[in-house]
Amino acid sequence: MEYLPNIIFAILLIAGIGYFSSNVKKLIRNIKLGHKVDASDHKSERWKNVVNIALGQSKLVKRPVSGFLHAIVYVGFIIINIEVLEIIIDGLFGTHRIGQQVLPTSLYGFLIGSFEILAVLVLVSVTVFWIRRNVIKIKRFLSPEMKGWPKSDGNIILYFEVVLMCLFLVMNATDTIFQTAGSGNVISQFIAPWFEGFSEGTLHLIEKAAWWIHFVGILIFLNYLYFSKHLHILLAFPNVYYGKVEPKGKFNNLEAVTAEVKLMMDPDADPYAAPAETAEDEVPAKFGASDVMDLSQVQLLNAYTCTECGRCTSECPANLTGKKLSPRKIMMDTRDRLEEVGKNIDANNGEFKDDGKQLLGDYITNEELWACTTCNACVEACPVSIDPLSIIIEMRRYLVMEQSAAPMELNNMMTNIENNGAPWPYNQMDRLNWKDEK
């Protein structure tokens, strides 16, 4: 029975990582429902973006207050996680603070001391975040799409962080050996006196309990990610890598359309010829997107990466003037629908059964799509290179090319272009009249 704790630890660790991995697999499968994107270009620029935008958080700090607080939590999260390494070794091998034994006292003290300071800074930042979300009425946290689960999700993440940081500090404060060594207990030495009257045994019990809850808490938090907007802590990096590297104004040209246009413009084309037989594309290409499967893998990755900060929406001219469009909602809807499709596939032995629903109409309305000015403010604002505009355009393409469902004025405008090469009903032959007009 001597090894019971080690065994329990190992089982918990395997279960925690196992469940997380199964969800990651699901996530990858869902993303792969989208069509492939060739991102083999601009390699050096993509890596540069990962370093600057993802690692360096260059876009986050454009809003100094939230950017600074985020940087603390981010650095704290990454550095304090070195401590997890020690926890895992201790847990598996039954050692106690292996780092203290193998590392020079000064180095170990320096590390733990830094973690303790960061833990306090994280606590302060997280508290400010909570106040920003719940007390101060910051507009971007009050949008209609932030009601219910998204609001709770945001708060749950903050509570998690508070609990984990407190447990870490309590664990250190009640560790008598660590406190007596007196190296690295920069913060916990002030917490230790709270436990002064406790017996050695009770102290040990509290220390062990804090250690175990801390460990289990980390596993729960890890597994919470898949169900939360907090996935960005992992996905921000690949998402920035796959983010747009070309000028923001450039929209992709649909290849399926190019093929048809070429045929139409080709004077040698036989209008009565039977369509060329191609084994692979039996299904005629659908123009634009009405559901998540019509989007690209990068767009679906975008949806999972979105952490609902709302910087896009707070810069969107349509949203600022009271229109229904919110770029953040476009991303949240895309993820919600993708999750729904994923669950459908799980429930039907790996095959999607038509559920009579789709992204267009059931999640995103035409009104939202037509309110977009394609100004790229949302794309520019996103700290992790998400492109809501590309989804809006794909859905407009479906509305126009598959459903002819453009607003009437736009149909008139397009008819004009078709007939006289201008969006207004003017004669093509009058194009140069301005030259002689007074």
Partner 1 sequence: MSEQLIVPTMAEMMAEGKQPEILFWVGSAGSYDDRAKKITKAFVKILNKANVNFAVLGTEESNTGDVAKRAGNEFLFQMQAVMNIEVLNAYEVKRIVTCDPHSFNCIKNEYPSLGGSYDVIHHTQYIKELMSSGRLTLEGNTYKGKRITFHDPCYLGRGNGVYDAPRDVLKKTNATLVEMKRHKGTALCCGAGGAQMFKDAEPGNKEINVLRTEDALETQPEIIATGCPYCNTMMTDGVKFKEKEADIKVMDIAELIADA
Chain residues that interact with partner 1, rule: CB under 8 A: 246-251, 253-254, 257-258, 260-262, 264-265, 287-288, 315, 317-318, 320-325, 367, 370-377, 379-381, 393, 395-401, 406-407, 409-410, 412-414, 417-418, 421-424, 426, 428-435, 437
The Cα 404–Cα 411 span in angstroms is 8
Lookup result for tokens 């032959």: 429
Q: Does residue 34 contact residue 238 with C-beta atoms inside 8 Å?
A: no
Looking at the Cβ atoms of 359 and 379, the one nearer to partner 1 is 379
The Cα 90–Cα 115 span in angstroms is 18
Looking at the Cβ atoms of 86 and 394, the one nearer to partner 1 is 394
* Helix 297-305 vs helix 232-242: crossing angle, to nearest 10: 150
Q: Give the Å distances, CA to CA, from 374 to 248, 252, 405.
A: 10, 14, 19
Looking at the Cβ atoms of 3 and 251, the one nearer to partner 1 is 251
Lookup result for tokens 């207004």: 424
DSSP letter string, 302-350: HHHH-----HHHHH-HHHHTT-S--HHHHHHHHHHHHHHHHHHHHHTTT
| C-alpha neighbours within 13 Å on the C-beta side of residue 279 | 0
Looking at the Cβ atoms of 265 and 279, the one nearer to partner 1 is 265
Q: What minimum distance in Å lies between the beta carbon of 397 and partner 1?
A: 4
Which residues, listed in sequence order, are joined to residue 360 by a DSSP beta bridge? 364
The Cα 58–Cα 56 span in angstroms is 5
Q: What minimum distance in Å lies between the beta carbon of 393 and partner 1?
A: 7
Q: What minimum distance in Å lies between the beta carbon of 403 and partner 1?
A: 10
Q: What minimum distance in Å lies between the beta carbon of 323 and partner 1?
A: 4
Q: Give the Å distances, CA to CA, from 410 to 68, 97, 370, 413, 422.
A: 44, 69, 10, 5, 13
Looking at the Cβ atoms of 10 and 406, the one nearer to partner 1 is 406
Q: What minimum distance in Å lies between the beta carbon of 360 and partner 1?
A: 12
Q: What minimum distance in Å lies between the beta carbon of 372 and partner 1?
A: 5
Q: Does residue 291 contact residue 360 with C-beta atoms inside 8 Å?
A: yes
Looking at the Cβ atoms of 199 and 321, the one nearer to partner 1 is 321
Looking at the Cβ atoms of 308 and 368, the one nearer to partner 1 is 368
Q: What minimum distance in Å lies between the beta carbon of 219 and partner 1?
A: 41
From 343, 363, 393, 239, select the one nearest 301 (Cα to Cα): 239
Q: What minimum distance in Å lies between the beta carbon of 390 and partner 1?
A: 12
Q: What minimum distance in Å lies between the beta carbon of 188 and partner 1?
A: 43
Looking at the Cβ atoms of 126 and 378, the one nearer to partner 1 is 378
Looking at the Cβ atoms of 230 and 311, the one nearer to partner 1 is 311
The Cα 307–Cα 324 span in angstroms is 20
